[in-house]
Amino acid sequence: MGLQLPKRAAVPVRRVATGVALAAVLLFLSACDAADSDQIARLAMPEPITEQGPATFDLWKWAWVAAMATGIIVWGLIAWVVIRFRRRSDDEIPVQTRYNLPLEIFYTIAPIMMVIVFFYWTVKVQDDLVELDPQPDVTVDVVGQQWSWTFNYTEQGEGGTTPYTSGTATQIPTLVLPVDQTVQFNLQSPDVIHDFGVPSFLMKMDVIPGRVNKFQATPTVIGEYRGKCYELCGTYHSRMLFNVRVVSQADYDTYLADLADQGFVADEPLLGGADATTQAGLGEDDDQEGSQE
């Protein structure tokens, strides 16, 4: 007889899987700082700092809840079928069925109802975000140009003049806003499509040549934030950054006065030239017809 080695006790697969999963979770959590943990709690969404922001966050949060609930149900049914109907040595081949009408009706109607619910709430939140107060407290004409931003504090200077600040591809401009005041942003571009967005506002909007897009936001938290262009707009798109400072009304008034003292004030908003309201080629056919006559 040959030498027989003692059999090693088999380790249950379930126990190994549980251990691996627990180790992975602990490793993941240990790598997270306070900011990361806060992001995880908000499902990777920035903390909203405007009155309008929570509407976007609630849509995002409940969409995740619905998706996870659907996933848990599907994964649970898959696991149940795998375990309950696993093949055994004495099993006979079950009756083969080509279709199940009630089941097919269910998995056709259920996704349609989910899409309808998502569509309804998306449209409702969108309508809330683009709703305009006819008398905003502050109006800022924002110009996105290749490759920076100009912020016009329209008619807020002495005698109805417009203080402004403008950045370059090497100098990041700062947008200063008063806290608890409704600000209307009029978005314009003299060249290509840009996209004005502040992550902490949970809102962004395209800046399109030849038209003025508008939205309003009411900042509620004093602090410093970041903004950027979300539309690939050319070679130096990555440099189209800007800072946002939400300050008290007194500090806001002081800031506008400082801009005026430095000479950054104009009779009208600086909109980047006449091309901001024209389109290339518009009217050329009419001119050609006139010349032929």
Q: What tens digit of pLDDT does each residue of 183-233 get?
A: 999 999 998 999 999 999 999 999 999 899 999 999 999 999 999 999 998
Confidence at 93, pLDDT banded by 50, 70, 90:
confident
Q: Using an 8 Å Cβ cutoff, are 125 and 59 in contact?
A: yes
Please report, rounded to a whole number, the percentage of residues in the chain having pLDDT higher than 70.
80
- 94 compared with 11, residue with greater pLDDT: 94
Mean pLDDT of 162-186: 92
Does the pLDDT of residue 142 top 60, yes or no? yes
Out of 12-26, 78-92, 236-250, pick the least confident. 12-26
- For residue 154, give the amino acid letter: T
Domain residue ranges of the chain, discontinuous segments joined by +? 13-42, 55-86+99-131, 138-277
- CATH fold label, 138-277: Immunoglobulin-like (2.60.40)
